[in-house]
Amino acid sequence: MDRRELADFLRSRRERLDPADAGLPVGPRRRTPGLRREETARLAFISTEYYTRLEQARGPRPSREVVAGLARALRLSDAERVHLHHLADVPPLLPAGPSREVRQSILDLIARLPHAAATVISASFEVLAWNSLATALMEDFAAVPAPERNLVRKVFLGPQGEGLRLYGVSDAPGFARSAARRLRAATARYPADRGLAALIRDLLAGSAEFRALWSSHDVAEEPTLRKTFRHPLAGPITVNCDVLDITDRDQRLVIYTAAPGSASERALHLLAAAENPLPGRAGGAGVSA
C-alpha cells in the first residue's frame, strides 16, 4: 500500500468536493475549500482520528468496507473508485456480469452512420445494438429472440451446415478463435455471472470445435482488420473492420466500412438505399430488448 499516494489522493478529492453536494451546510466560517476531515469521516462512517491518520500517511491498510465508505463519501467516479482500491491495496470487486445497457450517445452515433454498418457487442458476444445498414448486411436482429443474437452461439451452435460460415464472412475460423479467447478472459472478469456460465456450458456440450479452442486457455486476440461478407443479394462485400472499446461498459463498437470508390462501397450504398428507401429518411439504431 502506498500510504503517501493514498493520503494525497484522499486530500485532493476531499478538497474539491463542495459541501452542498454532500448535503452539508456551507456556513460563513469555512476557510478552506471542500469538506472538513471530520465531515468526510462522518460521511464514510469511520472515526475522525482514523481518517486523519489516513490523510497523514500513518494509517493501516483500510478494509474493503472502509474503502467503499470513502468512495461514497467523496463521490468518486468509477475510475477514481478503482484507483482508490489500487492505492489502498484492496482489489476492487468485479461487476456481477457484462453490461447489457448501451449508452444513448452510442445509439445516437451508430444511427448517424448511414454508409457504415455498426453493431455494439457485449463481453459475452451479445449483439446489443445495431443500425439499419447492419440489418441489411447481416440480419434483422430485431426479428429474432435475444438469445439468438449471440454471435458465438451462431458460430458454434448454429444450424447444421452453417457452423463457422457466420453471415458468409471470410474470417469465420479466425472469429471463432478470437471469440473463444475473449470468452475465456470474460469468465475471469465475471466469475459469478450465471448467463455467461450457462453460455460456456452450452458451447462445451454442443461444439467439439469450441471444446478444442477452450482447452488451449489462450486469451490473446487476433485482430481482424478486413473481412468479406457474401451477401445473398449484393454478392461479396469487402469491408474494413474497426473495433472501438467502450471501456466503462466492457462493450465493443464494431464498424464496417468499404474502401471509397470500390464495388463494395457501391454495394453498401445500394443496401442502405434499400433499407431506407424514402428520401431524407435516416437509418435508425436498434437495441436489444
Specify the range with the lowest mean pLDDT, choosing from 100-109, 234-243, 268-277. Answer: 268-277
Assess if residue 96 is contained within a domain.
no
Its pTM stands at 0.69
Same domain, yes or no, for 115 and 253? yes
End position of a domain, from candidates 87, 115, 136: 87
* Cβ pair 93, 74 in contact under 8 A: no
Assess if residue 50 is contained within a domain.
yes
Show the domain range for 48: 3-87
Average pLDDT over residues 81-109: 87
Output the domain CATH number for residue 31: 1.10.260.40
Confidence at residue 257, expressed as pLDDT on a 0 to 100 scale:
96
Confidence at residue 161, expressed as pLDDT on a 0 to 100 scale:
44
* Cβ pair 264, 258 in contact under 8 A: yes
Please give the distance of CA 42 from its chain centroid, rounded to a whole number: 35
Confidence at residue 278, expressed as pLDDT on a 0 to 100 scale:
44
Same domain, yes or no, for 260 and 139? yes
Q: Model confidence at 146, in pLDDT bands (50, 70, 90)?
A: confident
| Domains contained in the chain, number | 2
At residue 93, does pLDDT exceed 80? Answer: no
Would you tell me the crossing angle of helices 37-44 and 48-55 to the nearest 10 degrees?
A: 120
At residue 64, does pLDDT exceed 80? Answer: yes
Average pLDDT over residues 97-110: 92
Instruction: Give the H/E segment covering residue 246.
Output: strand 235-246
Please give the distance of CA 233 from its chain centroid, rounded to a whole number: 33
Same domain, yes or no, for 110 and 82? no
Confidence at residue 39, expressed as pLDDT on a 0 to 100 scale:
86
Assess if residue 51 is contained within a domain.
yes
Same domain, yes or no, for 120 and 78? no
Same domain, yes or no, for 194 and 276? yes
Assess if residue 97 is contained within a domain.
no
Assess if residue 99 is contained within a domain.
no
Confidence at residue 28, expressed as pLDDT on a 0 to 100 scale:
60
The residue written with cell numbers 461479396 in the block is: 236
Same domain, yes or no, for 40 and 111? no
**pLDDT digits 0-9 by tens, 67-78:** 999 999 998 887
Assess if residue 155 is contained within a domain.
yes
**pLDDT digits 0-9 by tens, 7-63:** 999 999 888 887 776 666 666 666 667 888 888 898 899 999 999 999 998 988 899
**pLDDT digits 0-9 by tens, 178-234:** 999 999 989 988 888 999 999 999 999 999 999 999 998 888 777 778 999 999 889
Same domain, yes or no, for 66 and 8? yes
At residue 132, does pLDDT exceed 80? Answer: yes
Same domain, yes or no, for 198 and 223? yes
Same domain, yes or no, for 30 and 172? no
Assess if residue 98 is contained within a domain.
no
At residue 79, does pLDDT exceed 80? Answer: no
Assess if residue 9 is contained within a domain.
yes
HSE at residue 76, side-chain half, CA atoms within 13 A, is 24
Confidence at residue 168, expressed as pLDDT on a 0 to 100 scale:
81
Whole-angstrom distance, CA of residue 213 vs CA of residue 182? 11
Output the domain CATH number for residue 276: 3.30.450
* Cβ pair 212, 173 in contact under 8 A: no
Confidence at residue 18, expressed as pLDDT on a 0 to 100 scale:
79
At residue 163, does pLDDT exceed 60? Answer: no
End position of a domain, from candidates 29, 61, 87: 87
Same domain, yes or no, for 53 and 138? no
Same domain, yes or no, for 260 and 124? yes
Same domain, yes or no, for 267 and 135? yes
Confidence at residue 288, expressed as pLDDT on a 0 to 100 scale:
67
**pLDDT digits 0-9 by tens, 240-287:** 999 999 988 899 999 999 999 999 999 999 998 887 654 433 345 677
The residue written with cell numbers 471530520 in the block is: 38
End position of a domain, from candidates 53, 87, 121: 87
Q: Model confidence at 236, in pLDDT bands (50, 70, 90)?
A: very high
Q: State whether the Cα torsion 81-84-90-91 is positive or negative.
A: positive
Dihedral angle of Cα 213, 217, 219, 224, to the nearest 10 degrees: -20
DSSP annotation string for 261-273: TSHHHHHHHHHHH
